[in-house]
Structure 1
Amino acid sequence: MTADLFPRAGILTDAVLAHEAPAGTPDNSTARTQLDALADMLRGRQAVVLTGAGLSTDSGIPDYRGEGAPQRTPMTFQTFASNERARKRYWAGSHLGWRHFRAAQPNMGHTSLMRLEASGVFSGIITQNVDGLHARAGSRHVVELHGSMDRVICLVCGQAFGRDSVAERLEDANPSLRTPEAVRIAPDGDVDVDDIDGFTIPACTVCGGMLKPNVVFFGELVPTERFTAAQSLVQAAEAFVIAGSSLAVNSGIRLLEQARRRKLPIIVINRGATKGDGRAVLKLDAGTSETLAGLADRLC
């Protein structure tokens, strides 16, 4: 089945999905019609979903690429590896942000995807997020394209560590981290910290090498085996769904192009414009949580 065989079903807006609208209003009727059309596209097919930061906003994790998001300059791998002061600032902020990051809970969108995967609608989940919320929601087949904040690796010997163990060492070496003032969480689990004089970064306990959270920084490539796993899911799929991603990152665009070349029906669920809108047979301009919940209710 090719994308050309699917008529464009239009745009589903936030107003259409508003829960406070009385039953039977045109908005609710349109929402049901659009969700029914989406369910019909996926019924009897095995799809794959690519998720982005917009899926986790309902869990309290901000999206620095969405509409209205403040400008932010993420840490690059080159700066992290070459600048000790920048590395100290990153680890101080990342640790404080990690406390808030790990306290986030899966939202209705995550649990709906778990239901859709368990029911066989989705063969797996490809995520650009590093928050680990898909796994915590119970999803089983998750490819974390950009890694996960709950692991730390040594850049010299490759030894992996749990983030909690490194966090304990950070606090032992820097006791002030145990009583931080209020911090503002950033999308990558970081916060802004200026006072890093005297800050100590723990080294690898195996070789003494440099430690780094096991996430893909700007300037790094997604590991080959991880991207190959994502490509395999797209290759075996019969539909490609994008949920909560503006597709600003190259890895997402590459997967979208693979789906387009295979002439898969492409569905985009995202507030605001994305780079995939022009290739989608259906664009739902709406929140991911309520849309995925509606889809799960119809297909599970």
Structure 2
Amino acid sequence: MAPVPTPSALVELLRDRPTAVLTGAGLSTDSGIPDYRGDGSKPRRSPMTFQRFVASEDARRRYWAGSSMGWLRFARSRPNDGHVALADLERAGVVTGIATQNVDGLHRRAGSQRVLELHGSLDTVSCLDCGTRFPRAEVDVRLREVNPWLPTDPDLVPLNPDGDAEFAEIDRFVVPPCPVCGGILKPDVVFFGEFVRPETTTAAEALVDEADALLVAGSSLVVNTGVRLVHRAKRRGIPVGIVNRGPTETDALADVRIEDGTSEVLRALADALAARTDNAVG
């Protein structure tokens, strides 16, 4: 039986290689934000699709009711050791940038500078009709003004990784329209059924093209935006490391595949590579 790869194998794979990073929902679970697959086998529930959101007032009511609770949890979440470790590696010159499938903004809060949010961010909301953009916190104030009965404890409802929460009392929920034109408000995240912006895709590809290695952390790679970056790395002939609990769609392409938590592995990686870089500079 082949030995199980350890963080030291990942250290050796990435040593002296400027590394691009791709992250997914599994990176944020230690911050209290669940991933879609929960136990690694089947999704918790189907997420909102763009088509349903646009076509159905009931769907928008259901989404915004849940989002009103989910946003509170997202706003209170803090970066975990995995986020901090990646920021440390960027400051040390090991990580050249991060492409993330997450919409929680935790990479930036941890101190990472070059972050490409492939699926957008919950921090802002836009009108689908006039295009005006609003801070999410501002929209939250308006949501609670027209729905003063909403609970203020975000732990009362289960949370999903896109900021949506399962909330039962949706029939009396009022969705405020755009204050500029009366149109439909939507968070600036890529719903299922939507396309990633072409400029975002181009920037993520450039991130991989500039790097000498790709590290995937906390993604099962079931979404094409991530899979394409792994295939791009392999076409370039650069090594790929994967850290995730549960299988991924590209395990067969990994040069090193570690089945473990991202917080523990990334901290070990930063302690080895960032410290080595600091010593070399000193």
**Normalising by the residue count of structure 2, what TM-score does the alignment of the two structures yield?**
0.92
Matches within 5 A, 1:97-246: 97-179=70-152, 182-246=156-220
Q: Distance in 2 between matches of 1:235 and 1:264?
A: 9
Distance between the aligned counterparts of 2:239 and 2:103, measured in 1?
27
Letter of the 2:127 partner, please give it.
Answer: C
Q: Deviations over 1:10-30 (max 9, x none)?
A: 533xxxxxxxxxxxxxxxxxx
CA offset digits 1:106-156 (Å, max 9, x no partner): 000000000001111110001000110000001000000001111111111
The question of whether the paired residues in 2 share the 8 Å contact of 1:147 and 1:214 is answered with yes
Letter in 1 for 2:115: V
Equivalents in 2 of 1:248, 1:65: separation in Å?
Answer: 11
Distance 2:46 2:60 in 1: 15
Unaligned stretches of 5+ in structure 2? Answer: 275-282
Quick one: which of 224, 246, 266 aligns to 1:250? 224
For the structure 1 residues 70 and 226, does the alpha-carbon distance in structure 2 shift closer, same or farther, using more than 3 Å as the test? closer
DSSP 3-state at the match of 2:171: coil
Tell me the TM-score normalised to structure 1 length.
0.87
CA RMSD in angstroms comes to 1.6
Question: Which secondary structure state, in structure 1, belongs to the residue aligned with residue 150 of structure 2?
Answer: helix
Q: How many residues align?
A: 271
Residue in structure 2 matching 1:62, options 21, 26, 34: 34
Residues 214, 51 of structure 1: alpha-carbon distance in 2 compared, 3 angstrom cutoff: same
Percent of aligned pairs with the same amino acid: 55
The aligned amino acid for 1:11 is: V
1:11 aligns with 2:4: yes
Q: Which residue of 2 aligns with 1:77?
A: 50
1:25 alignment counterpart = none
SS in 1 for 2:11: helix
Q: Does structure 1 residue 285 correspond to structure 2 residue 246?
A: no
Instruction: Name the CA distance, whole Å, in 2 between partners of 1:154 and 1:277.
Output: 39
1:298 maps to 272
**Post-superposition CA distance 1:46-77 (Å, at most 9, x none):** 11000001100111111112515553110000
Q: Deviations over 1:68-94 (max 9, x none)?
A: 555311000000001001111110111
Amino acid aligned to 1:88: R
In structure 2, the CA distance between the partners of 1:196 and 1:264, relative to structure 1 (3 Å rule), is: same
Task: Tell me the SS of whatever aligns to 2:134.
Answer: strand
Q: 2:25 aligns with which of 53, 57, 72?
A: 53
Contact 1:10/1:283 (<8 A) preserved: no
Give the gaps of 5 or more residues in structure 1. Answer: 1-8, 13-33
* Structure 2 counterpart of 1:35: 7
Amino acid of the structure 2 residue aligned with 1:89? R
1:93 aligns with 2:66: yes
**After the TM superposition, which of the residue ranges 231-240 and 60-69 deviates more from structure 2?**
60-69
Distance 1:267 1:179, change over 3 A: closer
CA distance in 1, matches of 2:260, 2:153: 36
